[in-house]
Structure 1
Amino acid sequence: MTRAALLVLADGRFPAGGHAHSGGAEAAVKAGRLRDARDLEGFCRGRLHTTGLTSAALAAAAAHGHDPAALDRAADARTPSPALRATARRLGRQMIRAARTAWPHPELDALARAFPRGAHQPVVLGTAARAAGLGPEDAAHCVAYETVGGPATAAVRLLGLDPFQATAVLARLAPELDLVAARAAEAARAAEAARAGVDALPAASAPLLDITAEQHATWPVRLFAS
Structure 2
Amino acid sequence: MTDRTTSPAPAPSPAAGPATLLVLADGRFPAGGHAHSGGAEAAVKAGRIRDAAGLEEFCRGRLHTAGLVAAALAAAAALGLDPAELDAAADARTPVPALRTASRKLGRQLLRAARAVWPAPGLDALAAAFPRGAHQPVVLGLTARAAGLGPRDAAYAALYESVGGPATATVRLLGLDPFEATAVLARLAPALDDLAGRATAAAHRARDEGAGVLPAASAPLLDIAAHQHAQWPVRLFAS
TM-score, L = length of structure 2:
0.93
Shift of 1:84: 0.1
Q: Identify which of 28, 44, 47 aligns with 1:29.
A: 44
Residue 52 (structure 1) aligned with residue 67 (structure 2): yes
| AA in 2 matched with 1:179 | D
| AA in 1 matched with 2:58 | F
| AA in 2 matched with 1:61 | A
Distance, in Å, in 2 between the alignment partners of 1:225 and 1:124 is 19
Within 5 Å, which residues of 2 pair with 1:14-93?
A: 14-93=29-108
| AA in 1 matched with 2:124 | D
Shift of 1:27: 0.2
Q: Which residue of structure 2 aligns with residue 114 of structure 1?
A: 129
Q: Identify which of 228, 232, 237 aligns with 1:215.
A: 228
| AA in 2 matched with 1:28 | A
| AA in 1 matched with 2:87 | D
| AA in 2 matched with 1:87 | A
Shift of 1:225: 0.5
Distance, in Å, in 2 between the alignment partners of 1:173 and 1:128 is 25
Distance, in Å, in 2 between the alignment partners of 1:177 and 1:145 is 7
Q: Which residue of structure 2 aligns with residue 170 of structure 1?
A: 185
Q: Which residue of structure 2 aligns with residue 154 of structure 1?
A: 169
Distance, in Å, in 2 between the alignment partners of 1:148 and 1:205 is 16
SS in 2 for 1:147: helix
CA displacement, residues 145-169 of structure 1 (integer Å, 9 cap, x when unaligned): 0000000000000000000000000
Unaligned runs of 5+ in 2: 1-14
Q: Which residue of structure 1 aligns with residue 4 of structure 2?
A: none
Shift of 1:5: 1.2
TM-score, L = length of structure 1:
0.98
Residue 139 (structure 1) aligned with residue 154 (structure 2): yes
Unaligned runs of 5+ in 1: none
Shift of 1:142: 0.1
Q: Identify which of 132, 138, 141 aligns with 1:126.
A: 141
Shift of 1:4: 1.5
| Structure with the higher helix share, 1 or 2 | 1
| AA in 2 matched with 1:27 | A
Distance, in Å, in 2 between the alignment partners of 1:116 and 1:199 is 24
Distance, in Å, in 2 between the alignment partners of 1:24 and 1:190 is 30
| AA in 1 matched with 2:169 | A
Q: Which residue of structure 1 aligns with residue 5 of structure 2?
A: none
Distance, in Å, in 2 between the alignment partners of 1:161 and 1:88 is 26
Q: Identify which of 204, 217, 223 aligns with 1:204.
A: 217
Distance, in Å, in 2 between the alignment partners of 1:201 and 1:223 is 33
CA RMSD of aligned residues (A): 0.5
Q: Stretches of 4+ moved more than 2 A in 1?
A: none
CA displacement, residues 131-184 of structure 1 (integer Å, 9 cap, x when unaligned): 000000000000000000000000000000000000000000001011111100
CA displacement, residues 40-94 of structure 1 (integer Å, 9 cap, x when unaligned): 0000000000010011000000000000000000000000100000000000000
SS in 1 for 2:188: helix
CA displacement, residues 176-198 of structure 1 (integer Å, 9 cap, x when unaligned): 01111110001001121xx2100
Shift of 1:205: 1.1
| AA in 2 matched with 1:220 | P
Residue 96 (structure 1) aligned with residue 124 (structure 2): no
Distance, in Å, in 1 between the alignment partners of 2:23 and 2:47 is 35
